């Protein structure tokens, strides 16, 4: 019985390595594009200490207890793109008022949807990224950087009404 469990565990570890190696996100190209995107967001005022902020509202998992979302346009690579930037706030005794007055204190992550025509037609051509507050990419539990065709983002956003992957407009 003990040997069977060890073999089973070994197979799971092996298979998880295969799955991680073939993840549809976190490639070198995705990471490089996300780095360019972060710098462009800083330059355009979508991120950073003095970045645009909307009115905070109650959020939900996996984003945060309080959120603030900006939807607009950004020029990246010489092309005008739609962008949705969601700031994810958490912390003890968090409230909308506290986030509005001290956003940096509660900011945990910045999640982004960027329209990229031709990138992934099956999912509306969205490029997904989850940044830490310093602009570095966050990772999933397996250590894969969250940039590109992030499966958890896509799985949730496919449930958005209207079939456009966007909850903000619905």
Question: What is the per-residue pLDDT across 1-14, written as a single tens digit (0 to 9) for each?
Answer: 443 333 333 333 33
For residues 116 and 34, give the distance between their C-alpha atoms in angstroms, rounded to a whole number. 12
For residues 157 and 151, give the distance between their C-alpha atoms in angstroms, rounded to a whole number. 10
Which of the four pLDDT bands, split at 50, 70 and 90, describes residue 169? low
pLDDT score for 149: 96
**pLDDT exceeds 80 at position 95:** yes
How does the average pLDDT of the chain come out, rounded? 86
Identify the CA nearest to 76 among candidates 45, 50, 41, 47: 41
**pLDDT exceeds 90 at position 129:** yes
Lay out the sheet containing 107-115: strands in order across. 57-58, 66-76, 79-89, 107-115, 126-131, 147-148
pLDDT score for 170: 54
Cα atoms in the Cβ-side hemisphere of radius 13 Å centred on 85 = 24
The answer to whether the beta carbons of residues 126 and 86 sit under 8 Å apart is no
For residues 76 and 72, give the distance between their C-alpha atoms in angstroms, rounded to a whole number. 13
What value does the mean pLDDT take over residues 130-145?
96
For residues 29 and 18, give the distance between their C-alpha atoms in angstroms, rounded to a whole number. 20
The answer to whether the beta carbons of residues 129 and 149 sit under 8 Å apart is no
**pLDDT exceeds 70 at position 136:** yes
What value does the mean pLDDT take over residues 68-93?
95
The model's pTM? 0.83
pLDDT > 90: percent of the chain: 71
pLDDT score for 7: 34
What value does the mean pLDDT take over residues 60-65?
89
pLDDT score for 167: 85
Task: Kindly state the tokens that stand for 103.
Answer: 């956003």
Task: Kindly state the tokens that stand for 18.
Answer: 């295969």
What value does the mean pLDDT take over residues 40-53?
93
What value does the mean pLDDT take over residues 21-41?
91
pLDDT score for 139: 96
């Amino acid at each position: 019985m003990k040997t069977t469990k060890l073999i089973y565990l070994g197979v799971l570890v092996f298979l998880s390595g295969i799955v991680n190696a073939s993840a549809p996100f976190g490639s070198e190209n995705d990471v490089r594009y996300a780095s360019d995107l972060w710098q462009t967001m800083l330059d355009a005022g979508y991120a950073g200490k003095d970045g645009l902020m909307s009115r905070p509202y109650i959020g939900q998992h996996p984003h945060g207890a309080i959120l603030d979302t900006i939807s607009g346009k950004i020029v990246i690579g010489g092309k005008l793109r739609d962008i949705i930037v969601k700031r994810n706030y958490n912390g003890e005794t968090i409230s909308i008022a506290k986030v509005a007055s001290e956003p940096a204190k509660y900011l945990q992550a910045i999640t982004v949807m960027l329209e990229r025509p031709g990138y992934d037609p099956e999912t509306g051509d969205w490029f997904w990224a989850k940044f830490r507050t310093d602009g570095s990419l966050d990772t999933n539990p397996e250590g894969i950087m969250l940039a590109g065709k992030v499966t958890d983002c896509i799985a949730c956003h496919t449930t958005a009404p209207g079939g456009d992957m966007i909850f903000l407009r619905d």
